[in-house]
Amino acid sequence: MSTQYWNKFYQGLNADLDIPYEPWLESLILPQLLSLNEQSSALDIGCGLGLDSACLSNLGFKVLSSDISEAALQQAKDLGYAKNVLLADAESLPSILGGKSFDFILANLSLHYMPHEALQKTLLGLVRLLKAPGQFVARFNHRSDINFGADKADEQGYFRRMEEGEETLKVFYTEEVLRYICMGVVGELDALFPQRQYNFEISEADCQNFGRPKRLLTLSWSCLPI
């Protein structure tokens, strides 16, 4: 979805809204990444209001919070949930960040707005930003997530609609489709970095999103030195 859409969304969101934070993230982080020093870094992609950024900061990470929306980043800063921010979309981050690397990368419900081919390319670029050891965690719309539009999606899981004269895309995934995309990424990573071991796991989960039940897939990548 466009920058204009998300700016309008966050401008219309009540900044004083008490959004409860579900402590889902801590249990997924690799134990060796929790033995942190002050140089440990994290990237939060599509940070929104910055609740996950605040969680990572509280765990000891130095967090870079990115989003496509200026309004989201401003609210995240005003609320005190994000300090270091970057205005960028997920697809551009690998080239923007260049030679930087991170101990932990998070994309919470922010990578399902692109076709499958673009997701595979974006995942490759993002996982390459990991240090070794390092971890990348992302959550995606589940194909059965009817509260958020899955029942309107086509056979590929693509839900297209018009927003203020612009066609937008939201994608819903089965585990099989997401696994197929990730297997392509693994092959390229193994060829590029034979001195590292990349693995991924996919699991299903339920959560509350803006007060409504949501079904999702959690993808966790690990990068370890051999």
* Tens-place pLDDT, residues 19-41: 667 788 988 998 878 776 677 99
Give percent above pLDDT 70 in the chain.
Answer: 95
In angstroms, the CA 220 to CA 226 distance is: 19
Whether residue 158 sits in one domain with residue 80: no
- Total structural domains in the chain? 2
Give percent above pLDDT 90 in the chain.
Answer: 74
Residue 182 in domain: yes
pLDDT top residue among 10 and 91: 91
Tokens of 143: 């194909």
In angstroms, the CA 5 to CA 3 distance is: 5
Nearest by Cα to 119 from 143, 91, 94: 91
pLDDT at residue 72 is higher than 80: yes
Whether residue 207 sits in one domain with residue 129: yes
For residue 148, the Cα-to-chain-centroid distance in whole angstroms is 17
Residue 70 in domain: yes
Q: Dihedrals φ, ψ of 179, to 5°? A: -65, -40
Residue 19 in domain: no
pLDDT at site 1? 63
Find the helix or strand (DSSP H, E) in which 192 lies: helix 175-192
Q: What is the CATH number of the domain that holds 72?
A: 3.40.50.150
Whether residue 54 sits in one domain with residue 126: no
Residue 51 in domain: yes
pTM for the full predicted model? 0.94
Whether residue 74 sits in one domain with residue 5: yes
pLDDT at site 44? 98
pLDDT at residue 170 is higher than 80: yes
Q: Domain containing 137: what range? A: 109-226
- pLDDT tens profile 175-201: 999 999 999 999 999 999 999 999 999
